Structure 1
Amino acid sequence: MFDQTLLAPISSFLKCETPDEWVSEAIKPANLSIILRDHMLCELKAAQSAMFLIRKYAVDKESGVRLTEWVKPYEEYAYKRIGGLESLRGKSNVTKQVTVREGCSYGQELVDKMVLLIKEELHHFYQVMEIMKNKGVPYELIEAGRYAKGLLKHVKTFEPDALVDKLIIGAFIEARSCERFAKLAPHLDEDLSKFYVSLLRSEARHYQDYLSLAELISGKEISERVNFFAEIEAELILTADEDFKFHSGKPIK
C-alpha cells in the first residue's frame, strides 16, 4: 500500500508504536468526525508553530506580518467559521517573500524549511476540509488534547536551548503523525486511505527537517535531549487518556 522504507527511520526514532487500542477506537465510524476535525486543526497548528519560529527567531518585523497574513484566513475559518473552501482555494500556494534578520546565522535555513512546511500544512488543512465536505462531516471546533502541551511544558527557558527543544518536539509530532497515518490507512475507505498514504512522504520529511535544524542551531550533540523527549512522548502515547484525539494515548474504555 505504501513504501515501508519511509517508516523505518521513524520507527527507530519513536520509542513506541501506537497502541492497538487507539487504532481500534480511531477506525470506528462514530469517531470519524473527531479524527478528521482534529487532524485538520493539527495541520493548522503545525503551520502556526512554524510561523511562530520564523517570526520569533529569523525574520524582520515586516516579514513577520506577511507570514501572519498568510495563515490568518485559515485561522478565521478554524476559530470563527469565516470563509470556506472557495475563499481558501489556492491560498496555500502563495510564496511569501521574507527577509532574514541580520546576524542570524541559521536564519535562511530555518526560513527555507519552515516556509515550505507552512505551505504544505495549509494545503493539507484544505484537503481535510474537502474530505469532510465530501463525507458530510460538519466542522465544529474541538479543544486540543494533552499531547503537544505535555511535550512543550519541558522546553528549556534559555536560548538557544529553548529553540532546539521546540524543534525536537516538532520532529516528534511530525513523526508520530506519519506513524499514525500508516496505522490508519489499511482500515479506512479507499479515498481516505489514499489521502493518508499521500501524506506519509511529506510528514517524514518534516520530521527530518526539524531534526536537522535542531542539530544545526545547537552546534553540539543533541541525542541526549532527543532521548529525553522520546521518553516523554512515548509515555503520552502509551498511558491512559480519557480525551480521544489524533495524538491521544490509550483510550479509556
Structure 2
Amino acid sequence: MLLWREKIPDTWLPQIRANLAPVLLDHAYLERKAATTALNLEKYEELRDHLSELNAIAIEELQHFELVLRLLRERGIPFGHPKRSPWISGMMNAVRKGRKQQVIDHLVVCALIEGRSCEKFQILAEGVRDLDAPLADFYASLVESEGNHYASYLIMARHIDEPEADRRLDFFLDLDAQLIRVPNPSPMLH
C-alpha cells in the first residue's frame, strides 16, 4: 500500500470507539459520495477507456452504502445530514483546474481517500472487536475492496501521465500529512 508520511493520530480510535453511531452515519455518507464520485469521473475524456471500471467501483460503493444503511436501521440510527470532512475538503481544495491536471489530481485524491479508508477499516476491524464483533467483521470485510479502489484510481492516473501522477502523489502525500495532524473534534472516518 502507501508509505504514509503521517500516521493516524492516537486520539482517532478512542474517539471513534466512543461515538460509533455518528461514525456509522458518516460512513454512510462517504460510501454514497464515493459512488457518485466514481460516476462523476466518467465526464473526463481521459477516462473513456475506464468506464466499466468506474461503473464497477460505483456499484460496489453503492452496495457498501446499502450495507451501512442496513446497519443504521438495525441500530435505530436515523439518516440525517452529513458533516463535511476537513481532511477530504482540504485534499479536494488542492485539485488543480485544467483538464489533464484536474483529472490526475482528482484520481490521486480518490486513491488516497480509498487508501486511508483501507487503513482505517483495518484499524477498526481490530479496534472495535471487543465492543461490537459484527461491526468489526463488517469493517474487515471492506478492507480488500478499499485497497482495490486505491490501486485502480492510482493506475488510472498513471495511465494518463505517470511522471505527473507520481509528482502529484508526492504532493498529496505531503498535504495528507499536514491535514491529518489538524485535530478534528467530530467523530469521523476521515
Given candidates 6, 13, 16, the residue that maps to 1:16 is: 6
SS at match of 2:58: helix
Question: Are the counterparts in 2 of residues 57 and 107 from structure 1 also a CA contact under 8 Å?
Answer: yes
Question: Are the counterparts in 1 of residues 72 and 78 from structure 2 also a CA contact under 8 Å?
Answer: yes
Corresponding residue number in structure 2 for 1:57: 44
Which TM-score applies when normalising by structure 2? Answer: 0.92
- Structure 2 CA distance for aligned equivalents of residues 15 and 202 of structure 1: 23
Which TM-score applies when normalising by structure 1? Answer: 0.70
Q: Is residue 169 of structure 1 aligned with residue 141 of structure 2?
A: no
Q: Does 144-153 or 117-126 show the bigger shift?
A: 144-153
- Structure 2 CA distance for aligned equivalents of residues 112 and 141 of structure 1: 31
Given candidates 2, 14, 30, the residue that maps to 1:42 is: 30
- Structure 2 CA distance for aligned equivalents of residues 199 and 218 of structure 1: 29
- Structure 1 CA distance for aligned equivalents of residues 68 and 107 of structure 2: 25
**1:211 to 1:25, Cα distance in 2 relative to 1, 3 A:** same
- Which has a greater percent of helix? 2
Corresponding residue number in structure 1 for 2:95: 155
Q: Is residue 190 of structure 1 aligned with residue 190 of structure 2?
A: no
SS at match of 2:28: helix
State how many pairs are aligned: 187
Corresponding residue number in structure 1 for 2:48: 107
Which structure has the larger Rg? 1
Structure 1 residues without counterparts, runs of 5 or longer = 1-8, 59-103, 248-253
The one-character-per-residue Cα deviations of 1:3-24 (angstroms, maximum 9, x if unpaired) are xxxxxx24x2x22221120111
**1:222 to 1:159, Cα distance in 2 relative to 1, 3 A:** same
Given candidates 172, 187, 190, the residue that maps to 1:244 is: 187
The one-character-per-residue Cα deviations of 1:192-223 (angstroms, maximum 9, x if unpaired) are 11110000000000000000000001254532
Question: Are the counterparts in 2 of residues 174 and 207 from structure 1 also a CA contact under 8 Å?
Answer: yes
Structure showing greater relative contact order (alpha-carbon pairs closer than 8 Å, 6 or more residues apart): 2
- Structure 1 CA distance for aligned equivalents of residues 28 and 70 of structure 2: 10
Deviating above 4 A after TM superposition, structure 1's stretches of 4 or more consecutive aligned residues are none
Question: Are the counterparts in 2 of residues 26 and 32 from structure 1 also a CA contact under 8 Å?
Answer: yes
Question: Are the counterparts in 2 of residues 161 and 218 from structure 1 also a CA contact under 8 Å?
Answer: no
